[in-house]
Chain A
Amino acid sequence: MDAFIIISLAKILVVFAVLMTTLAYLQWVERKVIAHIQVRPGPYRVGPHGLLQPLADVIKLITKEDLVPPYVNKPLYLLAPFLAITMALLSISVIPFGPSITVAGHTTFMQLTDLNMGVLFVLAVSSLGVYGIALAGWSSNNKYALIGGLRSSAQMISYELPLSLAIAAPLLISNTLSLRELVDKQDGGIWHWNLIHGGQIISFIIFLIAAFAETNRVPFDLPEAENELVAGFHTEYSSMKFASFFMAEYANMITVSCMATLLFLGGWGAPWPAEYGSSLVPAVIFAFAGVVALYHGINAERRRDKKTFPVFGVIFLIIAVVFLLPMVQGWLVPLFWFCAKTGGILFTFMWIRGTLPRFRYDQLMGFTWKFLFPVAVLNLLVTGFVVALLP
């Protein structure tokens, strides 16, 4: 019992620390990706390549004056950011990041808690997240904020239907509601993933589109369309309250990316079995990066490259060697695949933000009700028939 409590506390600490760092740096990555799409350098001043920019942003947001406008509905105004961030962080607790891990004789799952209805838990918590945004818009007593809150609640209710239907199809194939079992059933390579084996490409695309709308991202970011609504639902928020909405959006992005990975892309399973060398892939990637960095350190174009590139090269080579150690390979390689798949989906989020314009409001509503929803229902029906008829 004591060991269980200590292990759980340690896991919560690790997941919380990693999640918070990821949230801060995801925003840096996004600014960099969009900057490079638009052919500009992005954040560059604070630290090398702007790497300390998230730290500077955090200090700025904490030390900023926390202004509560006099005309707001105070209890709800204070409750809204708290609700948004709580619901966003809560769903991480059921996401499994990898297989079990043994530390000092205790074996435990790489997951905070393994619910046997994890999928439903994530759906329930994310459906509560809309309260944060809707209440923020309403309690601000500001017309722009109110319109933003209204748009977001309408959008989230509408897109939740295709989202749930798209989730239901792979669940029919895997026949379980536990996220861990879901991954175990997709074990054994890319042809066992629900995306390929179950033929769920349509529901994967529907899931991604609906997830963009649920997280209020471009091209569905109408709740905060800045050229018509100032800043939408968080117009009246400043300092850490604004930051909690911001963090909630990024945490939701991470959650839906993890869900897409678990439901469709086989979770932490490698794309091909380990006997054909899939566990060597991370080591090869990092070793290649290290060799490239060392090469550029030797043939340096600028003077400072002589110092920085060899340091990074050696770090990459050490990481490559760590991936080859047999005692950590059992959990490090699956973790690598999980992070790689989730990172790929997160990159898609940024890519689309950098390349697509925003929808018009009637297009947004027409698209989900007249196209996405019927397609999702049809897909679910066909999947149901196939699952029922095939042995």
Chain B
Amino acid sequence: MDVILFLIFATIAVVCAINVVVQTHPISSALSLVGVMGSLAVLYLLLGAEFIAAAQVIVYAGAIMVLFIFVIMLLNAGAEVKKGQSTMALFLGVPLLAGLLIVMCWYLQSWFPIGTTVHFGGFQSTAPHTGPLAQSGGSAHEVGIALFTRYLLPFEVTSVLILIAILGAIVLARKEID
């Protein structure tokens, strides 16, 4: 059951991700990205990390992607026109993509022992290979404690980083107005 659900939503995520690149219209691409975010949230939920799943939907699907679509609608961007593709990209791109996928598969294979399958609530119980959070579970309480004790410094650094990004955006916008 867990594996079937995982396969369904993983397939949706991958198909949507490919669709983001294949679609010529920006709105369709953005919507496919929403699909990726949604199926990722389901995968988190499947692992028992319900807080992260909810945060994924609220932050990515609910806020960031709405802004993307808002901007696309505001600029009224039309569909892209396909230009003549270079043969160079085809010749180099396909082998490089295959190589990258092989390296990724090998890496994942060496990381996880053979026979590890997805099971419901894997994030909460004993999963020795998924980092320090694995032992503590995925509820809001555990995530909060981990964020403000063990990961306090990265958390604060991230917030400063976001603050810098906001300041940068304001500076850029002011230049446009002047």
> Which A residues fall within an 8 A CB radius of B?
76, 115-117, 120-121, 123-125, 127-128, 130-131, 134-135, 137-138, 146, 149-150, 153-154, 156-157, 160, 177
B58 to A, closest residue via Cβ: A124
Contact: A150 with B34, CB < 8 Å?
no
Taken together as a complex, chains A and B put the C-alpha atoms of A100 and B62 apart, in Å, by 33
Whether a CB of chain A sits under 8 angstroms from the CB of B54 is yes
Residues of chain B with a CB closer than 8 A to A128's CB:
57, 61-62
Would you give the 0/1 interface string for B51-67, flagging 1 where the beta carbon is closer than 8 Å to chain A?
A: 10011011001110011
Contact of B70 (CB < 8 Å), options: A120, A123, A157 = A157
Q: Which residues of chain B (85-134) have a CB below 8 Å from chain A?
A: none
Contact: A117 with B62, CB < 8 Å?
no
Expressed in whole angstroms, the minimum distance between the Cβ of A357 and any Cβ of chain B is 27
Taken together as a complex, chains A and B put the C-alpha atoms of A154 and B66 apart, in Å, by 9
Contact: A116 with B54, CB < 8 Å?
no
Whether a CB of chain A sits under 8 angstroms from the CB of B27 is yes
Contact: B57 with A149, CB < 8 Å?
no
Give the number of residues in B that approach A within 8 Å (Cβ atoms).
20
Taken together as a complex, chains A and B put the C-alpha atoms of A150 and B69 apart, in Å, by 9
Contact: B140 with A177, CB < 8 Å?
yes
Residues of chain B with a CB closer than 8 A to A177's CB:
140
Contact: A76 with B63, CB < 8 Å?
no
Contact: B73 with A150, CB < 8 Å?
yes
Taken together as a complex, chains A and B put the C-alpha atoms of A14 and B34 apart, in Å, by 32
Most buried by B among A146, A156, A177: A177
A76-B31, A138-B73 given; 18 more Cβ-contact pairs under 8 Å: A115-B50, A117-B51, A117-B54, A120-B55, A127-B66, A128-B61, A128-B62, A130-B62, A134-B70, A134-B73, A135-B31, A150-B70, A150-B73, A153-B70, A154-B70, A157-B67, A160-B62, A160-B63
B50 to A, closest residue via Cβ: A117
A124 to B, closest residue via Cβ: B57
